[in-house]
Chains A and B, each alone.
Chain A
Amino acid sequence: MNKTDVLIIGAGPTGLFCAHQLGIIGLSCEIVDNLDKAGGQCIELYPDKPIYDIPAVPECTGEELTNNLLKQIKPFNVKFHLNERVEQLKKNQNRWHVKTSGELEFDVAAIVIAGGVGSFEPRKFPVKECKKFEGNSLFYSIKDKSIFKDKIISIFGGGDSALDWAIELSNTSKVNLIHRRDGFSGAESSVQKVKELCDQGKLNLYTKYQMDSVMGDKKIELVKIKHDGGEIKEFKSDYVLGFFGLIMQLGPILDWGLNIDKKTVQVNTENFETNIQGIFAIGDICSYPGKLKLILSGFHEGALAARGCFKYAKPDEKLRFEFTTTSKAAQERLGIKK
């Protein structure tokens, strides 16, 4: 059981800055995120795209912003739990008992949901039968590549993941790469490599095709693909891999009894608390009259939510407003030596 003052759900910029604000006022926190790294949408959707509207930072990329926030919260030694999705919240007297997908448990005084538009999940094939084979012969990510040795693999997608795995697996497996158009979004060098492998007969490339159906008894045996023009091809396949990037899903958050409107959680603007006492929501996931989905708004919301958490974490103490420029306590927490 992890015991801390506040659990932050989501390691995007809003969650990270909220951790900073909690640290400044002397509260401890831990952060859970479903991705394998901190940064949220900044890292997953636009790590290299410049952002121009962070106050006092004329230009920075999503990755730079994330790294700077991580540096800013370093003094507080915040513990991260990555690759974990929060599944269940339960009130336990004045505290919350939280469980994650990986069976981690937390005992916390308050919860801050900074979950963006939800947790990132792989996008799936639109074909219905695919669900039946998911996890046994159809995958959206690869954990153990050894199972593919000497098998026939059909890979769908045109991004870096599809290309990289097609190249890698072509060493030990028979690979079919299927993509909906001639162009690819993956790196040009990988596209060239795939074309070379195709010319050498080490890989079959089918462009302007999409999945039509998959068939098999317990495991996939046959894959049918359909050309833009309607023509259908079929081939044997032991495994199917789909790489269509990630989509954001609200997931279990929907089941916690929060007031939800159009995939966002309603909050008050005094401290960003939801309709449930002790649960706060900040950043893209919260809604209130005038809400702007900007990173800077998330920072403001995080600062207020952190202060809102104080009364739950330290019910017998009074929070005094202080500036970091002059507060000895805040400077000590930041590890500043004079």
Chain B
Amino acid sequence: MAKITYHTHDNKTHTIDVQKGLTVMEGAIQNDIPGIDADCGGGMACATCHVYVKEEWLNKLPEKEDGEEDMLDMAFEPKNNSRLSCQLIVSDELDGLEVNIPSKQG
């Protein structure tokens, strides 16, 4: 398990123990955290699991794969700290990760 903190747009904070191997997206979906749609189910094909990663975590995350940046072009209000949460696989290294969920996914 790793602790992942989701800050939702309604100013609530949800800290969840997410099983290693799941994605940050799955952690949100399985725990009913609002604001992550994940329409394509984790296929990096829809940009509706978009999150903003807390700055200090940016460099600790696995690099973006080909295609993630292309999909982020489609996301709602992308910023420099934008990631697709379906591409972030939970591991010991990610224990303590904090992400902000945008006001909308599209």
Measuring CB to CB, which residues of chain A are less than 8 angstroms from any residue of chain B?
Answer: 41, 45-46, 117, 123-124, 126, 157-159, 179-181, 183, 185, 210, 228, 244-245, 247-249, 263, 284, 293
Q: How far is the CA of A248 from the CA of B46 in the complex (A)?
A: 9
B48 touches A180 (CB 8 A): no
B76 touches A159 (CB 8 A): no
Q: How far is the CA of A183 from the CA of B68 in the complex (A)?
A: 12
Q: What are 22 A-B interface contacts by the 8 Å CB criterion? A: A41-B40, A45-B40, A45-B43, A46-B45, A123-B74, A123-B106, A157-B73, A158-B73, A159-B73, A179-B73, A180-B78, A181-B69, A181-B73, A244-B73, A244-B74, A245-B47, A245-B74, A247-B46, A247-B48, A248-B46, A249-B106, A293-B41
Known: A158-B73, A159-B73, A181-B73. A46 touches B106 (CB 8 A): no
Q: Is the interface of B mostly helix, strand, loop or mixed?
A: loop
Residues of B within 8 A of A (CB-CB), count? 20
| B93 interface residue (CB < 8 Å to A) | no
Interface residues in B44-100 by Cβ distance below 8 A to A read 45-48, 69-70, 73-74, 76-78, 80
| B17 interface residue (CB < 8 Å to A) | no
A185 touches B48 (CB 8 A): no
Q: Is the interface of A mostly helix, strand, loop or mixed?
A: loop
Give the nearest-CB partner of A159 in chain B: B73
A45 touches B41 (CB 8 A): no
B45 touches A45 (CB 8 A): yes
Measuring CB to CB, which residues of chain B are less than 8 angstroms from any residue of chain A?
Answer: 37, 39-41, 43, 45-48, 69-70, 73-74, 76-78, 80, 104-106
Given contacts A123-B74, A158-B73, A244-B74, 18 further A-B contacts (CB under 8 A): A41-B40, A45-B45, A45-B46, A46-B43, A117-B39, A123-B76, A126-B76, A126-B77, A126-B104, A181-B73, A185-B70, A185-B73, A210-B77, A245-B47, A245-B73, A247-B74, A247-B105, A284-B41
Q: Which residues of B contact A245 (CB under 8 A)?
A: 47, 73-74
